[in-house]
Amino acid sequence: MARPRIDIGPDGLVRPSDDAKDRLRRRYGAFELALDLPGVVVLRGESHARLQMAGEILNRMSVMEIINIVATSHWRGDLHVVSSEATRVLVFDQGALKGARSDAPVDRLGEVLFRGGFLDRTQLQTLVKETGEKRLGELAVERGYLDAAQLYQALQRQAEETFFNALLMADGFYAFLVDDDDEDPASATVHLSVQGLLMEGVQRIDEMALFQERVPSTALCPKPVPDAPPPKKLDDAATRLLAMCDGDRSIDELGRLTGLGEFGATKAVYQLIQQKLVTLQAARRVDPSRVVALVARFNEILQDIFLAVATYGGLAQTRATLDAWIQGSGYGPYFGEGVDDFGAIDGEFVAKALEGVEMDAPLEALHQALHELAAFALFSATTALPRDQELALARDVNARLKAIRIE
């Protein structure tokens, strides 16, 4: 995302772009020209916090080094870490993190509660709509999703996650502002050792680089390895997560269900992979139970067609014709070799076949294919049925086909 542009003409006049105007409107007032160097201009408000340190973020180590300076110097103030994607503000006092703010969606309290398993997506969306005089956390406590102690822990986790996400910012700018008053910062909600957070942050960065080789995405689903040997020295987190692995839940979802969060769940899955207890597979694009249910509804129609044909002795011919159509239509890999003796296809086989299919709407495509199969079965039956029976069956089948919709 391009940064807003401000042009300074040879006449000294300042001409901000429209995007820059939108930003500057929030900072209206009188400013003094504090510094003008080749390529750098600094303006300072007349009655605001003092700028103690500022600069450009050059790499992934920049923010870490800046925070280390702030912590070891026991400075008190707000570190603003700004990129084109997000702005994060870390509040420091005497070597401790006292609070954190962010405009990044991933850092919002609601997202922290969602990732922690306290809220599902629907509950979160409902609470967001109802926020007004009361904050989201307060509403969540009132609704019984968590208690006050858990809310405080979530606020602490929110500050920690904002801190860790600030460490990962590899480009942009930073500014450390010092306020003149001696009052405690209004945003102070936690008291966390900065050195402890830095050590954990460094460990996370190193471990995530290691995990990336075996766990490339948290959207993947861990599947237990059949007949795997008993686990060796699993920690509590990995043990809890293994018990919930079913091949359908993603690492993200497991992180929410166990309360481990994204990083904790990724670390646990990496441990399980190392011990060959799980493998990773892509998320199913369609729920197998929905596939089986849809196939079952069409099977009822196919079986009634076969029953009508059997009455007049044309069952073998109809089945052979239908099996040939399945193979010739290209649906063989999904429907199997053909229908059974009663005219049905194997729903479990269809569900398994659709697991690896890459398409935008697999269930809708299956619905269309099954509709074609039933329509051809009805057409094949016409040669074996008297005219009146053919018309009656057609009316019944067509009405039932129209009634089958994807729910």
For the cut 70, the answer to whether the pLDDT of residue 181 exceeds it is no
Token pair recorded at residue 67: 């925070």
pLDDT confidence band for 223 (50 / 70 / 90) = very high
Percent of the chain with pLDDT over 70: 95
Give residue limits of the domains in the chain.
Answer: 1-48, 50-205, 217-281, 288-403
- Determine if residue 223 is left, alpha or beta; phi over 0 gives left, psi from -120 to 50 gives alpha, anything else beta: beta
pLDDT value of position 270: 96
DSSP secondary structure letter of residue 247:
S
C-alpha distances (whole Å) from 233 to each of 122, 223, 261, 271, 275 are: 38, 20, 22, 10, 10
pLDDT value of position 296: 92
Q: What is the mean pLDDT of the chain?
A: 88
Task: List the end-to-end C-alpha distance of the chain, in Å, as a whole number.
Answer: 40
DSSP secondary structure letter of residue 133:
S
CA-based nearest residue to 247, from 275, 264, 272, 274: 272
pLDDT value of position 184: 53
pLDDT value of position 360: 67
Torsion sign across C-alpha atoms 337, 343, 346, 350: positive
Q: Is 395 helix (H, G, I), strand (E, B) or coil?
A: helix
Strand order across the 77-82 sheet:
50-57, 172-178, 77-82, 87-93, 96-102, 192-193
Euclidean distance between CA atoms 105 and 366, whole angstroms: 37
pLDDT value of position 188: 54
Q: Is 45 helix (H, G, I), strand (E, B) or coil?
A: strand
Token pair recorded at residue 102: 């962010």
C-alpha distances (whole Å) from 86 to each of 162, 167, 173 are: 11, 13, 11
For the cut 60, the answer to whether the pLDDT of residue 208 exceeds it is yes
pLDDT value of position 407: 66
DSSP 66-114: HHHHHHHTT--EEEEEE-SS-EEEEEEETTEEEEEEE--GGGSHHHHHH
**pLDDT tens track for 244-294:** 999 889 999 999 999 888 899 999 999 999 999 999 988 777 778 888 999
Task: Provide mean pLDDT across the span 288-308.
Answer: 89
Task: Provide mean pLDDT across the span 70-83.
Answer: 94
Instruction: For residue 172, count CB atoms less than 10 angstroms from its CB and return exposed for 0-12, middle for 13-18, buried for 19 or more.
Output: buried
Euclidean distance between CA atoms 366 and 383, whole angstroms: 27
pLDDT confidence band for 34 (50 / 70 / 90) = confident
**pLDDT tens track for 78-117:** 999 999 889 999 999 989 999 999 999 999 999 999 998 8
- What global pTM score does this model have? 0.69
Query: Which CATH architecture best describes the domain 217-281?
Result: Orthogonal Bundle (1.10)
The separation between CA 144 and the C-alpha centre of its own chain, rounded to angstroms, equals 25
User: Percent helix, strand, coil in the chain (nearest 5)?
Assistant: 50, 15, 35
pLDDT value of position 183: 53
